[in-house]
């Protein structure tokens, strides 16, 4: 019976939702998928800089699904502080929600037992909750879609601007939005780019090894170690991600203009990306510093 009641409550009946605390702020978390810290730094995004100086932080996971689960638990990319117990770091990170949300007395034990930010914000603080995601691996049928009033997989993987008209706030309740943005994800394509012009990488073995694998075909060339990556291609791909940040910065500027003034904004990434370093490309089954190194910035909307 309790399960049924809980389901009815989470079915969106406004009267079942608690009244939000006075002055509670909107919270918008923008995740620029796969964005490396140094791509942000090289792009020097002006709109994003209004939130404050970008921090170099570390993702808890190397790819999209576990990283977003971690983010929705409320744990933002970490600072990797030495000589600190994990439990103490988590507690301190949750205390930060006091400032982010403008709600007093935030602490880790309040998000128990779900340890899921949308659940806490919606069912305990009375928020409206929404998500728009670009990556199919985060689609609405996954476990991530829990206690969201709306949750949408965007039609295109790389069009943050299409999210802006759908971003709604309720005057009577604060809102939480998760925006997963795909322009910074491979193939680092802007929405107006013709897909036939996207760079093609079919797989590590098919593409990154030089086509000429047979030493006999080299006609006496020096037996240098084989080039595993096309380095020019890697530089081009990294450049495309930097260009994507420059473009996204313009969309972020429009987002800032649109957000209510009492909105706390976090912009970060779910993981980094490898562009040929130590013979790695991309993210996921990669053990490398660059796949965990992410940008992080937060503050009240400028
Ligand atoms: Zn991702």
Long-range contacts made by residues 2-11, C-beta under 8 angstroms, separation at least 24? 9/123, 10/122, 10/123, 10/147
Residue-wise pLDDT for 72-121, tens only, equals 999 999 999 999 999 999 999 999 999 999 999 888 888 999 999 999 99
Residues 252, 265, 31, 40, CA torsion sign:
positive
| CB-neighbour burial class of residue 48 (10 A; exposed 0-12, middle 13-18, buried 19+) | buried
At residue 16, the pLDDT reads 79
DSSP 72-84: HTT-PPB---TT-
In the chain, pLDDT over 90 holds for what percent of residues?
A: 81
Question: What number of helices (H) and strands (E) belong to the chain?
Answer: 9, 9
Q: Strand 128-133 vs strand 274-275: parallel, antiparallel, or unpaired? A: unpaired
pLDDT tens-place string over residues 25-81: 999 999 999 999 999 999 999 999 999 999 999 999 999 999 999 999 999 999 999
How far does the centroid of ligand 1 lie from the alpha carbon of residue 272, in Å?
8
Q: How far does the centroid of ligand 1 lie from the alpha carbon of residue 161, in Å?
A: 19
Residue 221 pLDDT more than 90?
no
How much distance in Å is there from the Cα of 132 to the middle of ligand 1?
Answer: 14
pTM, full prediction: 0.88
H helix intervals, the chain:
2-9, 37-43, 46-49, 64-72, 86-95, 97-101, 117-119, 231-258, 289-292
Which residues, 6 or more positions from 157, have their beta carbon under 8 angstroms from its beta carbon?
Answer: 134, 135, 136, 182, 185
| Alpha-carbon gap, residue 131 to 144, rounded angstroms | 10
Residue with tokens 């990488």: 201
Determine the pLDDT at residue 228.
63
State residue 73's pLDDT score: 97
Centre of ligand 1 to C-alpha 9, Å, is 32
Ligand 1: distance of its center to the CA of 292 in Å? Answer: 11
56 Cα to the center of ligand 1, angstroms: 17
Strand partners, 16: none
Q: What is the pLDDT of residue 11?
A: 45
In the structure, ligand 1 is a single-atom ion and the residues with CB under 5 Å from it are 33-34, 64, 270
Instruction: Compute, in angstroms, the gap from residue 51 CA to the centroid of ligand 1.
Output: 22
- Looking up tokens 């020097």 gives 44
CB 282 within 8 A of CB 233: no
> Among the listed ranges 50-64, 148-162, 226-240, 261-275, which one has the minimum average pLDDT value?
226-240
Instruction: Work out the pLDDT band at 6, boundaries 50, 70, 90.
Output: very low
DSSP code for 54: P
Predicted local confidence at residue 108, as pLDDT: 86
Residue that is written with structure tokens 């910035």 in the block: 297
CA of 19 to the centre of ligand 1 (A): 34
Distance 185 CA to ligand 1 centre (A): 7
Q: Hey, what are 224's tokens?
A: 């240098």
* pLDDT reading at 8 higher than 80: no
Judge whether residue 177 has pLDDT over 80. yes
Q: Band the pLDDT of 214: cuts 50, 70, 90.
A: very low
Mean of per-residue pLDDT scores for the chain:
88
Share of the chain above pLDDT 70, in %: 86
Its sign, for the CA torsion 209, 213, 217, 220, is: positive
Q: Could you tell me the distance, in angstroms and rounded to a whole number, from the CA of residue 297 to the centre of ligand 1?
A: 18
223 C-alpha to ligand 1 centroid (Å):
38
* Ligand 1 centroid distance, CA of 238 (Å): 16
């Amino acid at each position: 019976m309790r399960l049924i009641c809980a389901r009815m409550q989470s079915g969106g009946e406004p009267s079942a939702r608690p009244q939000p605390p006075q002055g509670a702020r909107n919270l918008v978390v923008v995740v620029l998928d796969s964005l490396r810290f140094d791509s942000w730094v090289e792009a020097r995004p002006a709109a994003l800089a209004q939130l404050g100086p970008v921090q170099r932080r570390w993702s808890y996971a190397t790819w999209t699904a576990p990283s977003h689960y971690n983010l929705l638990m409320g744990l933002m990319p970490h600072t990797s502080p030495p000589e600190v117990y994990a439990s103490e770091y988590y507690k301190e990170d949750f205390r930060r929600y006091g400032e982010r949300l403008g709600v007093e007395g935030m602490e880790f034990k309040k998000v128990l037992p779900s340890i899921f930010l949308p659940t806490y914000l919606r069912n305990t603080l009375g928020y409206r909750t929404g998500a728009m995601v670009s990556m199919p691996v985060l689609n609405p049928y996954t476990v991530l879609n829990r206690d969201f009033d709306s949750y949408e997989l965007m039609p295109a993987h790389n069009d943050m601007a299409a999210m802006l008209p759908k971003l709604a706030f309720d005057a009577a309740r604060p809102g939480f939005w998760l925006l997963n943005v795909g322009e910074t994800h491979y193939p680092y394509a802007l929405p107006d780019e013709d897909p036939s012009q996207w760079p093609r990488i079919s797989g590590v073995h098919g593409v990154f090894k030089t086509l000429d694998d047979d030493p006999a075909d080299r006609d006496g060339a020096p037996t240098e170690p084989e080039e595993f990556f096309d380095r020019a291609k890697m530089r081009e791909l990294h450049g495309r991600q930097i260009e994507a940040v420059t473009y996204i910065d313009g969309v972020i500027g429009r987002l800032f203009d649109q957000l209510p003034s009492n909105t706390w904004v976090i912009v970060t990434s779910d993981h980094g990306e490898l562009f040929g370093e130590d013979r790695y490309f991309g993210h996921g089954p990669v053990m490398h510093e660059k796949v965990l190194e992410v940008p992080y910035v937060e503050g009240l909307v400028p």
